[in-house]
Each structure stands twice: as structure tokens, then as C-alpha cells.
Amino acid sequence: MKFKEILIEESLWGNPLYRNRVKKILEHPIFLQTPFHFIPNYRLVFDALYRPYLLKQKEKTLRLILAQKKGMVVKEAPENYGAVKEEGVVAPHFYITNGLNCVYECEYCFLQGHFSNPDLVLFLNYEEMRDQLESKTRPYGHRAWCHLGEYTDSLALSHLTEEIFFWHETAKQYPKIEWELRTKSANVSSLLSLPPLENFFCTFSLSPESAIKIYDRKTPSLKSRLGAIKKLLHHGHKVGIHFDPVIWSPNWKKEYEELFYSLFNLGPPEKFSYFSLGVVRFTQKDFDKTHQHYPDSSLFAMEFVSCEDGKKKYPYFLRREMLSFLSNCLENLGVNSSQWYVSMEEEVLLKKNNEVANVFI
Ligand code: SF4
């Protein structure tokens, strides 16, 4: 991805540690021709003016902003959002806001309704993020789950920021915190230079190739992502898989069966740390934005209904059928019931499959 210019928050330049990080990014070969300017505060640029998410000629107008995240950097994740470690016990789950916006452009991405500016922001004050997480997890004896990549892809730009090295080192210092890097990227070169850790997971969102081609705009192909997963597994890293969002298509059952077979060709289910299943869902605002940006998208081939949690989702019977089919497939292929969970669904759909089978009848 090309940027028109790089904007640097002055406070970063004033701190020798952060200044070094900025310099390393500026010295990267892809940025040698990119002009840069200093700004007093990223919010004056990022929040100041509405700019369409799907900018025309995005490559020529997009800016990279390097900034220091102030205020709440570490937040508690919503319920039913992360991995269940033991039956019925969910570790306190936090996420770190390490960046805003993404180099990819998935049609269903909530970022298009979340921000009013498509510029990419990278926060470089990792030490402050770590310190906030330290104080938030202290009451739990530093036992927690923490993911990166809530508002951006965790790995797509990891070769520029070298952030991964910082979090890997932090994971060694806090072995009871489980770290998760969420990605659709195949950019695993930094990870391959690091030794595996018991509490350091890289998780990939996977969909059938046809869905990736239609909806996951500008992302690496399924083949590239599977290639990256293979390398990480071979290296001994912990890998998790998010089958999320699951989007209906006329052949969705067959496509997911093929996807599962391709994945387990890389290694048996026990080689993977965990799996999540999540059927496509939107807030009303994101639903409206997506509709506005992609009015002809086949995303809207199926009906969406308003649910009690305020989200727009497929009707209950369809979500139930999809989750039931997919979880059955996973278990038939040897995935242990403690290895998978359902993301952001109603209570009855969160239960394990054989438990809800009776409810479904
Ligand atoms: S990879 Fe994730 S954050 Fe990036 S555009 Fe796709 S859904 Fe959004």
C-alpha cells in the first residue's frame, strides 16, 4: 500500500525511544520517497474532517499517521468474544488499541462505520500500553487474555513497526497472559524469527476461497494464508483459526467442508490451539455503511434481522443451522469440543453442539 504522506505526532519525536521507532519506519525502503510532516496531535487530523472510507484513488490520497495513544489504550473485550480456556471459565479478556484502520478492505469490515477517516494510524507507545495492561491484569494475578488487532490487522505491517518483537518480549515477562495476534495477513516473517512461546498465539481469519475473492478485498488469498499457517506450525508457534465471519452462499456447506479439509491437510486438529465460529453480524450503523458502500454486494443476499443485542444478523434458524453444521463438521474431523467456541451469539447458540441439539429439535 502506498501513502501520500506520513504525519508524525510531535510528542513521539520528543521521546528518544519513540523517535527511534519513527526513524526506523521512515528509513524503510518503501517510505524513502514519501514526504513526512509533524503534527501537534493526531486527532486534529484524524477526527477533524470527514473523509470517505472508500476514497477515490485511495493510494494517492491515503496518509500514514504515527502517533502516541493517550487515555484508555487497554479495554475489556465484550462478553463471548474470546477463547474459552476451560469449560465454563472465561479468562478476563482485554484488547490493546495499537492502531486504527487497516490496509485491507473487507466488505463487511466494521471499521467503515466506526471511523470517519480511512487514514491509517499506528500507535508507537508500546511501553505505556504494556503498563496499562499490567495494572488492569494485576487484580487477576496477571492471568488474562489479551488480543491485538481490534482496529487494525496485527501482522499486515509488522515488518515496518517491529512491534511484534516488543509484545513477544512482554509475553515472556507475563507468562500467565495469553497473547493473541489477529490477522488475515500472510506476513509472518517477523514471527518466524522468534522462538515459540506457550502463551503467544497467532490467529488467522479464514473463509472459503470464493468468499475471500468476493468480500475480503485486498487480502492475501486462502492459499497464501494457509502457506503462512503451515510455516508457523512448522516453526512450533501456537496457531488459532477464526472461521469468522461465516457468510451464506448457495454452496456454503461444500465450501466449508473443503476449507476444513485444506486446513487439516496442514496438520491434525490437535496441532491448532483453538477455533472460533462466528456468523456475519453488524451493528445497525455498520450495516447501513456497508449497504451504502457496497449496495450490490451478495452479502445482502440473505435477510438480516435486528436482534436483542442490537446487532443485525441472519434469522435465528439460519444461524443455528450454520453453527450446528460447522461445529458438527469440526467435531467429526477430530476437533475436541473444548477446542472451539462460538463468537458473539445468543446464549443458546453458545452451548456446545450436542447440548443444543435437543433445543434445536
Ligand atoms: S482484515 Fe479485519 S480490520 Fe482489516 S479490513 Fe478486513 S475485517 Fe477490517
CA nearest 247: which of 290, 276, 282, 279? 279
CB of 286 closer than 6 angstroms to any ligand 1 atom: no
Least confident interval from 162-176, 220-234, 256-270, 332-346 = 332-346
- Cα(154) to centroid of ligand 1, in Å? 10
Amino acid making up residue 354:
N
- pLDDT at position 257: 98
Instruction: Tell how far the Cα of 358 is from the centroid of ligand 1, in angstroms.
Output: 36
Local confidence band at 35 (pLDDT 50, 70, 90 cut-offs): very high
313-340 burial code (b ≥16 CB/10 A, e <16): bbeeeebbbbbebbbebbbeeebeeebb
CA angle 242, 245, 251 (to 5 degrees): 110
The pLDDT confidence band at residue 333, using thresholds 50, 70 and 90, is very high
| Domains in the chain: boundaries | 5-360
* Strands across the sheet containing 281-283: 281-283, 311-313, 305-306
Angle CA 188–208–300, to nearest 5? 120
pLDDT of residue 85: 54
Q: Going along 297-353, which residue ranges are E strands? A: 305-306, 311-313, 340-342
Q: Which fold has domain 5-360?
A: pyruvate-formate lyase- activating enzyme (3.80.30)
Segment among 76-85, 133-142, 220-229 with least mean pLDDT: 76-85
Q: How far apart are CA 204 and CA 137, in angstroms?
A: 25
Per-residue pLDDT tens for 128-181?
999 999 999 999 999 999 999 889 999 999 889 889 999 999 999 999 999 999
Which tens digit of pLDDT belongs to each residue from 82-107?
Answer: 655 555 556 789 999 999 999 999 99
Please state, in angstroms and rounded to a whole number, the distance separating the CA atoms of residues 127 and 129: 5
Q: What CA–CA distance (Å, rounded) separates 254 from 104? A: 27
Residue 89: per-residue pLDDT: 53
Q: What percent of the chain has pLDDT over 90?
A: 74
Ligand 1 atom having least distance to the Cα of 182:
2
Pocket flag, ligand 1, residue 212 (CB < 6 Å)? no
pLDDT at position 47 over 90? no
User: What residues contact residue 148 under an 8 Å CB cut-off, 6+ apart?
Assistant: 95, 96, 98, 154, 167, 179, 180, 181, 182
Report whether 98 contacts 281 (CB < 8 A).
no
For the record, the C-alpha cell of 236 comes out as 512450533
| Ligand 1 close to Cβ of residue 150 (< 6 A) | no
Under the banding of pLDDT at 50, 70 and 90, the label for residue 356 is very low
Is pLDDT at 347 greater than 80 in this prediction? no
pLDDT at 301: 86
φ and ψ at residue 83, rounded to 5 degrees: -70, 135
Q: Which atom of ligand 1 is nearest to the CA of 111?
A: 8
How buried is 60 (Cβ within 10 angstroms: 0-12 exposed, 13-18 middle, 19+ buried)? exposed
Q: Are 129 and 163 in contact (CB under 8 A)?
A: no
CA dist list (Å): 271 to 105, 259, 275: 30, 16, 11
Mutate to test the pocket of ligand 1, among 98, 103, 104 (most ligand atoms within 8 A of CB): 104
Ligand 1 nearest atom to the CA of residue 101, by list position = 3
Which atom of ligand 1 is found nearest the CA of 105?
A: 5
DSSP assignment of 309-322, as one string? TSEEES-HHHHHHH
| Residue identifier of the C-alpha nearest atom 8 of ligand 1 | 109
pLDDT computed for residue 78 by the predictor:
74
For 173, the enclosing helix (H) or strand (E) is: helix 163-173
